[in-house]
Chain A
Amino acid sequence: MTATLAPARPGADAGRTAFAALAACELRRFVVNPVFLLAVVMTADALWFNRSGSVTEIDTANPFPAVFLGGFGMMATFWLTRSMRASEPVTGVTPVTRPTRTAALCAVAIVPFGCGGLALLAFLHFHPVGDPVYGAFSPPARIAVLAGQILVPSLGGPLLGVALGRWVRFPGAAFVLFLILYGWVSLVTILSMSHPGSAPVAVLRLFAPFAFFTYTANTADVTAWRGSPWFFLGWQLALCAIAVLVALLRGAEGQVRARIIRALAIAGVAALILLVLAGTGGFTHAVTA
């Protein structure tokens, strides 16, 4: 049996080199963005502030990394993407295609994602998985809840910012979307408090890039809401994929465009299925432990 090594195509190598160079350049721009730096400081401060025993359930401390690394990260990448708009006539004639430049912009999401990972580790350090603040969830489900509330929003927010920056002209779009998402999550959470056993309300609560899973009323007991944290994690990852594909679609032509649209349809269907499974899976009613 013989094995042959095919020589790498010079075009592919050049494309990879250009992408790496662009990604490194965008990373350098992103890490000095004042909004992102503010987000990192605020996340660290919020985690430190909520380290004490005053936390009765995880959801009093968990939204902060999502708001700061995800929400503020979205605003930072939106501006990063929009900042290239003025130089589009010049960059548009370079040999690098727009989808490649968009992919380089998407690559910066690795930084807030890494910060989210650190935040997750810090949260686990202050609130170990065995703590009663997690409610009735099993230990693996507790990790899924944390990943869905801390890690994935840190990745999805910046990716959404890139997609928004590529498609929307309005310069205030990022903060408007941030306010709308913040309002929506608050509204459906408050609805869940009054209808904890309702399946449609559970689906509405999970129809968001971030969702709460526990609740404490005036008692010391933690109520775990219905819904599957694992499928919710899948729904969030599908949303991340949709954000990347929507961003890449701008400026894509020919075969690439057709492929992106096909992938977008698959990701959309997968997201829908995962949302339904997230709403109907897990606990079938609110469980207080």
Chain B
Amino acid sequence: MAGPVLRAGAWPAVAGLSGVAVVVGGCGAAFPAAATVLFPICFALLAAAAAFTLDEPASQVVDVTPTGTVRRTTIRAMALLAPLATGTLVLLAAALRGLALPWAAASLALAGNVLLGFAAACVARTRTGEPGAAAGTAIVLVLLAPSLVPQVARWVRTFPAPGAGGPSSNPVWWAVLAGCVAAIAISVGGRRPRHRPASAARQRWT
């Protein structure tokens, strides 16, 4: 069962976004002065990749099969290993280049970014079969808000800056992780097939 469910995933999108993230993160590792700008962009791309893991072009058929939502989502969650592995690779490259980042906080930020993208996809999947584009865009805009809006940057930081003052990113990501787990549990538990089979609809009226 896991094989076909995984095979139907939006792998070109997940792999493509992860590939772009590797390039951006690689530039961050190669140019340490730009790391604190490029790593958040790399992580945002990985969050967007995670948002595409639940895309199901044949959702009208798949949603009414006997395989439950929880099972399908659990199998698809295995695809999160791709963005997580990519992020880990980028952090390892940065460590090998001798970058002085707070590694625990950076790893937490990576996990938080990826889980945020997946949670957004889970929530959006209750409304549409292919939530990747909308969820990915929304997540990217949210994750870039501290960089784009100075008022937000005063209060929220999404990436740990080495030795800088200001707010820590850890409380944000712990809160996001808790919120994501709750959102995933609620959306997966409450998801029902949106498209009633025609035969079932007929039976109801005859």
- Smallest distance from the beta carbon of B30 to chain A beta carbons, Å? 10
Would B37 and A187 count as touching, CB distance under 8 A? yes
Interface size class of B (residues with CB under 8 A): 20 to 34
Q: Is the CB of B48 within 8 A of A172?
A: yes
Q: Of B12, B16, B38, B48, which contacts A175 at CB under 8 A? A: B48
Quick check: B45 and A176 within 8 Å, CB to CB? Answer: yes
Contact assessment for A179 and B24 in the assembled complex, using a CB-CB cutoff below 8 Å: yes
Contact B132 A172 (CB under 8 A): yes
| Dominant secondary structure of chain A at its interface with chain B | helix
Partner of B41, one of A45, A64, A182, A191: A182
Least CB separation from B140: chain A residue? A175
> Does A17 make an interface contact (CB < 8 A)?
no
Given A170-B16, A172-B17, A187 contacting B34 (CB threshold 8 A): yes
What sequence of 0s and 1s flags, for each residue 169-209 of chain A, a beta carbon within 8 Å of any chain B beta carbon? 01110111011101100110011011000000000000000
Give the residues in chain A near B140, CB-CB below 8 Å: 175, 178-179
Say yes or no: is B31 at the interface (Cβ < 8 Å to chain A).
yes
B149, CB-defined interface residue at 8 Å: yes
Chain A residues closer than 8 Å to B133, beta-carbon distance? 171-172
Complex contacts, A64 vs chain B, CB 8 Å: 148
Q: How far is the CB of A191 from chain B (nearest CB, A)?
A: 7
Say how far A168's CB is from chain B's closest CB, in angstroms.
11
B residues near A (Cβ < 8 Å) are: 12-13, 16-17, 20, 24, 27, 31, 33-34, 37-38, 41, 44-45, 48, 52, 130, 132-133, 136-137, 140-141, 144, 148-151
**Chain A residues with a Cβ under 8 A of chain B:** 42, 45-46, 49-50, 64, 67-68, 75, 170-172, 174-176, 178-180, 182-183, 186-187, 190-191, 193-194
9 contacts between A and B (CB under 8 A): A46-B150, A64-B148, A175-B136, A179-B20, A179-B144, A182-B41, A183-B27, A186-B34, A193-B33
